[in-house]
Chain A
């Protein structure tokens, strides 16, 4: 079965500095991977998705992620954090056999002025 592991439960950055949220996946075949963001008391918003096209995926709000098969990683990055980026971020793999999303445990991003 597919799974994802988010390596950090919390990440703190200063506004204007780079963001790195780490995610490793486990899959017996080429997976479809996603990053979703959840602001407090809100639903989930899709940031970006990887579906075996380009390994570097660009998403909304300046975020991007790179699929690295050799490292089984799909880390999320942003060159410069903004206060509005403070939220919970989920790395997600789709279980294509069963069409369901499998979520990581989440990483809370804190952005200080």
Chain B
């Protein structure tokens, strides 16, 4: 049973560029959440996708956008990159049961460096 997978593993971009990160959820899961983990800090919630719609959003600017596909996989897009966007981006998948989100399982993350 494949767990949560993310690609790419590492990415280097320059300020002002745009980036797309990808996530495939654990088999059987229908919900994908994205988190940003800056160096030395705990992960911060970016947004969550369920049934191809953004279900909830954290305190992140509109430069951060996402998408969920019919096969439940997801993309995170960041436009106009800033140095402060350098972080580990984590994807978590889960299953909605009776209206609430069950345990979230994390992928290995994508390390984004903005120069």
Q: Is the CB of B33 within 8 A of A43?
A: no
Q: Is the CB of B105 within 8 A of A103?
A: no
Q: In which size bucket is the chain A interface?
A: 20 to 34
Closest to A99 in B: B101
A44 at the interface (CB under 8 A from B): yes
Q: Is the CB of B105 within 8 A of A46?
A: yes
Within 8 A of A (CB), among B55-95: 55-56, 58, 90, 92
Q: Is the CB of B35 within 8 A of A101?
A: yes
The count of chain B contact residues (Cβ–Cβ below 8 Å) is 25
Cross-chain contact of A100 among B4, B33, B105 (Cβ < 8 A)? B33
Q: Bits for B5-33, please: 1 = Cβ < 8 Å to A, else 0.
A: 00000000000000000000000000101
B41 at the interface (CB under 8 A from A): yes
Q: Is the CB of A101 within 8 A of B41?
A: no
Query: Which residues from chain A contact B90 at a C-beta distance below 8 Å?
Result: 43-44
Cross-chain contact of B41 among A46, A96, A106 (Cβ < 8 A)? A106
